[in-house]
Structure 1
Amino acid sequence: MKKNIIYLLVFVFIPFLINAQAFVDVESGLAITGYNNVKIPAEGGTAFSLAAETPSGPVFVTRLRIGYTFKQHHTLSILAAPLTVEGNGTIDNNVIFQDKTFLSGSNLTSRYRFDSYRITYRWDFIKKDDLLAGIGITAKLRSADIALMDDTGYAHREDLGVVPLINFRTEWFFYDNFGILLDGDALVTPFGRAEDINLAVMYSSNNNVKYRIGYRLLEGGSDGGGNVYTFSMFHYITAGVTLSF
């Protein structure tokens, strides 16, 4: 724990040591489940839709990114993006999940947690007053937990792992202080896929403050890796602000 605190302090104070520009980005909004399919274990478990069988409404979400830009074209940042969705419904068939059987007719509650923590480096190969384009790499630490419960018991499956993603960002101020932002992290492999993509309209009141409203797509999963099948999609309606110092 002490080492983690030291690493965080070093990250925070690097801008002051190398004369970089620091920034804080806060985004909040609503996350709406598109689909959320699980089968745990991948062999022997029941294919089950959390979205259809245990539906949930929109959930409030917030994410925080801090970072700094140095030598104008290089950006390093860390992101915390937690997500927890809970649902409830009555199932009409038996569900085998994590070696526990939930019987047909049970009033089932689900909890889906997918917290994402990322470190990103990006190189901006175009950087003008009205246009920015950059590409980089992200190390993503995912902390996930899927749980089902009813009157007879509880079962859950946790997962913790690190995956690499490709990072990209484009800003285009097409009219005075108004612009369009497209950014995200994404990667597709034979073992699964992950996409976190944001499209937003921006307004910049000055060089140090940028506001935005937009749409974010979070989608991906794994097909049988670690004996787990899980794929989900979430639609975000968001508002955010970036403050530079």
Structure 2
Amino acid sequence: MKKIYLLCFALLGLTTVHAQIRLDVESGLVLGTNYNKIRIPNQGGTLVDIAKELNVKPKVFFRLRADYIIDNRHHISALYAPLTVRYDGNFSQDVRFNATTFAANRPVTVDYTFNSYRLTYRYDFVANEHWRIGAGLTAKIRDAKVRFKNEGQDTYFDNFGFVPLINFYAGWKPTERWGLLIEGDALGSKQGRAEDIFGGITYALGEQANLKLGYRVVEGGADVDRVYTFNWINYVSVGIVVEF
């Protein structure tokens, strides 16, 4: 992470021919989760898929990214992406979570929070009228919390940590206004994996503003000594990107 910060500061200190600031505001609906498997602690807890056991309602989300672009190819960006998904219903079996047992067939609420803060450097290898393709590195700070609650019990487990990711971007504009885009951060290891990927269409409102519409998926988790968590979250996303 220190190397990424040093690289960003070095680039900001360069005398540049051309620099831009871009603001990317994204919102939409979290439609649901294909799975959200939790076992806390990993030894002694109950493995439960709250996406299968409980109900979740669509939820509005938002994300904000600020991008500093140097000479049309070097991108330094900061992302703020908060998210909390609420599940409710009844477990079909007793569930042991964080040293507390939640009995079957009793109303329970689970709040799954996964806030993300990221600093990214990306270099565009291809940057022309029709194509933009790039890759880079992302330093991600994960601020996660899982809370189980019923009428008589309330317990939570939180986790704060650093995750390095590979950033990628591929955009194609076959016409002056319309385009296709896929971008994201992803990386896997023996202990776990993380993917945050958007795919969709873009439409140019003018020289300095673009709309985007598509699908976003956040998937991943960890299997370590303290916890076992893996989830898949589906988003319908719309956003506006403005350059200054």
Deviations 1:170-191 (Å, cap 9, x if unpaired)? 1100123100001000001111
Match of 1:128 in 2: 128
1:21-170 to structure 2, matched below 5 A, reads 21-31=20-30, 32-170=32-170
Deviations 1:78-101 (Å, cap 9, x if unpaired)? 000111011111122111000111
Give, in whole Å, the separation in 2 of the partners of 1:236 and 1:76: 25
- Following TM superposition, by how much is the alpha carbon of 1:241 offset from its aligned partner in structure 2, in angstroms? 0.8
Match of 1:227 in 2: 226
Deviations 1:55-77 (Å, cap 9, x if unpaired)? 11111100000021002210000
Q: Which amino acid aligns with 2:87?
A: G
Give, in whole Å, the separation in 2 of the partners of 1:211 and 1:79: 18
Identical amino acids, percent of aligned pairs: 39
Give, in whole Å, the separation in 2 of the partners of 1:115 and 1:45: 24
Give, in whole Å, the separation in 2 of the partners of 1:45 and 1:22: 47
- Following TM superposition, by how much is the alpha carbon of 1:112 offset from its aligned partner in structure 2, in angstroms? 0.3
Match of 1:236 in 2: 235
SS in 2 for 1:80: strand
- Following TM superposition, by how much is the alpha carbon of 1:42 offset from its aligned partner in structure 2, in angstroms? 0.7
- The gaps in structure 2 that reach 5 residues or longer are none
CA RMSD of aligned residues (A): 1.9
Give, in whole Å, the separation in 2 of the partners of 1:116 and 1:53: 26
SS in 2 for 1:51: helix
Match of 1:20 in 2: 19
SS in 2 for 1:168: strand
- Following TM superposition, by how much is the alpha carbon of 1:206 offset from its aligned partner in structure 2, in angstroms? 2.3
Give, in whole Å, the separation in 2 of the partners of 1:188 and 1:125: 24
Scaled by the length of structure 1, the TM-score of the pair is 0.91
Match of 1:183 in 2: 183
Scaled by the length of structure 2, the TM-score of the pair is 0.91
SS in 1 for 2:173: strand
Q: Check whether the contact 2:43–2:225 (CA below 8 A) recurs between aligned residues.
A: no
Give, in whole Å, the separation in 1 of the partners of 2:24 and 2:205: 15
Q: Which amino acid aligns with 1:76?
A: I
Give, in whole Å, the separation in 2 of the partners of 1:229 and 1:103: 21
What is the aligned length?
234
Q: Check whether the contact 1:33–1:58 (CA below 8 A) recurs between aligned residues.
A: no
- Following TM superposition, by how much is the alpha carbon of 1:226 offset from its aligned partner in structure 2, in angstroms? 4.1
Q: Check whether the contact 1:208–1:243 (CA below 8 A) recurs between aligned residues.
A: yes
Match of 1:3 in 2: none
Give, in whole Å, the separation in 2 of the partners of 1:202 and 1:91: 42
Q: Check whether the contact 1:171–1:182 (CA below 8 A) recurs between aligned residues.
A: yes
- The gaps in structure 1 that reach 5 residues or longer are 1-6
Range moving further from structure 2, 17-26 or 205-214? 17-26
- Following TM superposition, by how much is the alpha carbon of 1:105 offset from its aligned partner in structure 2, in angstroms? 2.2
Give, in whole Å, the separation in 2 of the partners of 1:226 and 1:119: 28
